[in-house]
Structure 1
Amino acid sequence: MLLVKNEFGQVLETKLAQDLSVLAIEHTVVKAKVSLYGGQVLSWHPDGEKEVFWLSKDSLFEQGKAIRGGIPLCWPWFGAHPNDNAHTAGNHGFARMQQWQVVSIDISEQGVEVTLSWQGEAMNELWPNACQLKQVLFFGRLFKQTLQMTNLGDADAYYTGALHSYFRVSAPAEIKIAALGQADYYDKLTEQLCKPQVFKNGVGPVDRIYHSNKDLSLVDYAWGRTLELKSQNTKQWVFWNPGVEAANKMADVHPNGEQEFVCLEAATTEMQLLPAGVSKTITQEISIVNHG
């Protein structure tokens, strides 16, 4: 179904699976895809560039299942909820498994801006508040994502969250993110807080929460490109690759898929206050530099 069209491009709504829809963006400078299930970016492919985000060929496009790849939204908690003693609430909250609505689509010469929203209440006993999420996505030569979180309830709430980007790479062994070597980090695999260490490569298993929100450069030597990342109002960068053994146990990661991506996530992993009636935003911006 055609939603918007002008001389610069068009946006179609098509089926991702039986009951899941995707926005297919076709523009003179970019192609992209966004799943309305989860409000999840699946693809950003500027003209003349390689695809930026990784999406598993075995991802489960089903209600109640998270989509493996793109940019899942981890909200209103990242990882396991700290008060989930029974381990029944699941990882990464509920936002990535909700149906989002299209608010607006604007096609300009520079690219396409899509605004999506979701609203709900009493989604989980650990987060009973009424809330609204709004996401503004810009696809062009530059990619920008802003998530606005609003507490619609009468009681204060607390959240953690992340923009869980899966970046497509030539190989984890071929990448470097030098600035991460300057930050303290928590190693989730050893459960230890570590002093800065030189960042060697992205080969898994690795799962680290870096205590820095500085701008980063994800250098891919084999592909000759650098992804420049900026974030606003987040406090950490999370770096993750499951490694071969763990990936082989994941039903939604295709064979050798872990050799095609690294996750670098703009995140806030410590509880933040979201007062009643208040909105807050987190943002990431990504650009591409080619080395020639």
Structure 2
Amino acid sequence: MGSVTTKKHPNGLEFVEVNTPLCQARIFHQGAQIDFFQPKDKAPLLWVSDADDYQPGNGIRGGIPVCWPWFGASDIEGFPQHGFARTSLWSLASVKMRNQIVDLVFTLKISAEQQQYWPHDTEVSVLFSLSETLTVSIVNKNNADYPINFTQALHSYFPIEDIHQLKASGFKDSKYIEFAKGPFAQGSDDVLFDRETDRVYTDLAQTQVLHTPAGDIEVSRENSQSAVLWNPWIDKSQRLSRFNDNDYLTMVCLEAANVLEDEVNLQPGESHTLTTHIRWR
């Protein structure tokens, strides 16, 4: 049927290793971050920079970092970029196996120190469903007696072999903001890459496809009208930590999100689930 085993990286980070007839995967307790997923008889679906040294306290440069409870820079000076979830230690709450599919749930207990960033009574969990498709969800429940607002993203990194040969499709009739300018209307369905790309899309269709030399990667979303498309290109690659100067050639990020006007407004007692599905087509 398969196995789910807890192991430890040489640098001390604990992770869960999954082996089934359908796939192999690795998910770290730090950040509830998956960094490896490979369906049976196919290539890995996630990219990680080999410059990353998996040090405790640093989000892994690749896989799917969880950006929560805000995406990007906070409005409050000194608050961590992309929130605190991606560097926090999560707990593995449950493991279930059904017909060779593995379901895992990670939960985050917000510490007293983190309450300075997020003083709200909420529950947050990350769910993984591992088969020939990778499904990741972040679930929020508002236990407070007042509404809360937040932004979030599943910051997915994909291997694309050669950025110059990549075509991303599924963007027709959407709009985007880039480098704090816009919104711009996108009439064409496709995006090609010949410079730094940092687009926050809204009014976006639920499914996009990354057409790579190795095959097509389908990325779809639920409860999300927004997504982020990112490649740092040459100059920014040289400024990024845990990132090689030429890594931009072999990766792209396409991130399921709730950002800009797609921000989540969660009423007392309500729950919200953001989901991404990733597979070779």
What's the TM-score, normalizing by structure 2?
0.91
CA–CA distance in structure 1, aligned partners of residues 142 and 180 of structure 2? 35
Q: Is the 8 A contact 2:127 2:136 kept in 1?
A: yes
2:247 matched to 1:257? yes
Match of 2:127 in 1: 136
Match of 1:19 in 2: 12
Match of 1:89 in 2: 79
CA–CA distance in structure 1, aligned partners of residues 251 and 133 of structure 2? 20
Match of 1:3 in 2: none
Structure 1, gaps ≥5 residues long: 1-7
- Structure 2 residue aligned with 1:279, among 254, 271, 280? 271
Match of 1:113 in 2: 103
1:210-256 deviations in Å (ceiling 9; x for gaps): 11341333232411x21222211112011001111111222211342
- Which amino acid letter does the alignment assign opposite residue 138 of structure 1? S
Q: Is the 8 A contact 1:209 1:239 kept in 2?
A: yes
- Alpha-carbon distance change, 263 to 204 in structure 1, aligned in 2, over 3 angstroms: farther
Match of 1:266 in 2: 256
- Structure 1 residue aligned with 2:157, among 135, 156, 166? 166
Report sequence identity in percent.
Answer: 25
- Structure 2 residue aligned with 1:101, among 88, 91, 95? 91
What secondary structure, in the 3-state scheme, does the structure 2 residue paired with 1:284 have? strand
- Which amino acid letter does the alignment assign opposite residue 279 of structure 2? S
Match of 1:216 in 2: 207
- Which amino acid letter does the alignment assign opposite residue 251 of structure 1? S
Q: Is the 8 A contact 1:203 1:241 kept in 2?
A: no
Deviation, 1:265, is: 0.5
Structure 2, gaps ≥5 residues long: none
1:90-109 deviations in Å (ceiling 9; x for gaps): 21111111111111112333
CA–CA distance in structure 2, aligned partners of residues 286 and 171 of structure 1? 20
CA–CA distance in structure 2, aligned partners of residues 154 and 120 of structure 1? 18
CA–CA distance in structure 1, aligned partners of residues 36 and 48 of structure 2? 8
- Which amino acid letter does the alignment assign opposite residue 265 of structure 2? L
- Alpha-carbon distance change, 170 to 182 in structure 1, aligned in 2, over 3 angstroms: farther
- Structure 1 residue aligned with 2:36, among 31, 34, 43? 43
2:26 matched to 1:33? yes
